[in-house]
Structure formats: C-alpha cells, structure tokens
Amino acid sequence: EAGVTQFPSHSVIEKGQTVTLRCDPISGHDNLYWYRRVMGKEIKFLLHFVKESKQDESGMPNNRFLAERTGGTYSTLKVQPAELEDSGVYFCASSRLGQGRGYNEQFFGPGTRLTVL
C-alpha cells in the first residue's frame, strides 16, 4: 500500500509569489489533514477534510491560505501571496474514518519544505 505522498519536496519562492502544495492521501482514507511546522516551533494543525468537505479549518493562519480537495481524493494547499513567516515544513496526513472514538491513526507524508525569501 502506497503511503501519503506530497509534492514538491522542496519549494523556494520569493515573497509575494504563489505556491501550491499537493498531497495524495492513502487510497481509501477519507480523512485528510494539513499541518505545518515553522522553524523551532511545534507542529500545528491547519485544517481537516472529510472526503471533499472541510470539517475544521480553525488552524488556517489567514486568508492567504486556501485548501481544496476536489473529488475527495488529493488535496492542494495554496499560499497566495507568500510571506516570509510562511516558511516551514508542511505536512499532510490521512486516516480512515473511525468506527468510534479513538480510532484515528494518522499517517503522515514526508512534508514539503517551503522557503520564502
């Protein structure tokens, strides 16, 4: 079974430019999450999709970030325009819909390292 994949692995852009990150979850996983780790800080939740619907986007920092999951398969996270403080590693994770509380093992992708100059 293929794991969660993310593209690109690295991206270096200039302030003000646009970047789109992609995540392909494990096949059959309806839950998809985005997290990020800004240098020196903890990994923070950004948002959660269940299939194509946004379940929770409470962690999105501002309206420069737009996430989509058309068709309930892969997801994209677009940052427009990028700012210096957006630099960090963006992780995607997926999991099956739980059968009850406590059934939510999340599998993470390798992350996309974003550098905004």
Partner 1 sequence: SQQGEEDPQALSIQEGENATMNCSYKTSINNLQWYRQNSGRGLVHLILIRSNEREKHSGRLRVTLDTSKKSSSLLITASRAADTASYFCATDRSGNTGKLIFGQGTTLQVKP
Residues 6+ apart with CB under 8 A from 100: none
Q: Sheet holding 5-7: strands in order across? A: 5-7, 19-24, 75-79, 65-68
- Note whether 61 binds partner 1 by CB under 8 A: no
In this structure, are residues 6 and 112 in contact, taking their beta carbons and an 8 Å threshold? Answer: yes
- Note whether 1 binds partner 1 by CB under 8 A: no
Q: Which of 35, 75, 77, 86 binds partner 1 (CB under 8 A)?
A: 35
Closer by beta carbon to partner 1, 79 or else 94: 94
Q: Compute how many residues bind partner 1; rule: CB under 8 A.
A: 27
What is 50-95 written as a DSSP string? ETTEEEE-TT--STTEEEE-GGGS-EEEEESS--GGG-EEEEEEEE
- Note whether 115 binds partner 1 by CB under 8 A: no
What binding mask, one character per residue, do residues 66-85 give for partner 1 by CB under 8 A, x or -?
A: --------------------
- Note whether 108 binds partner 1 by CB under 8 A: yes
Closer by beta carbon to partner 1, 45 or else 74: 45
Summarize as ranges the residues that interact with partner 1 (CB under 8 A). Answer: 31, 33, 35, 41-45, 48, 50, 55-56, 59, 91, 93, 95, 98, 101-102, 104-111
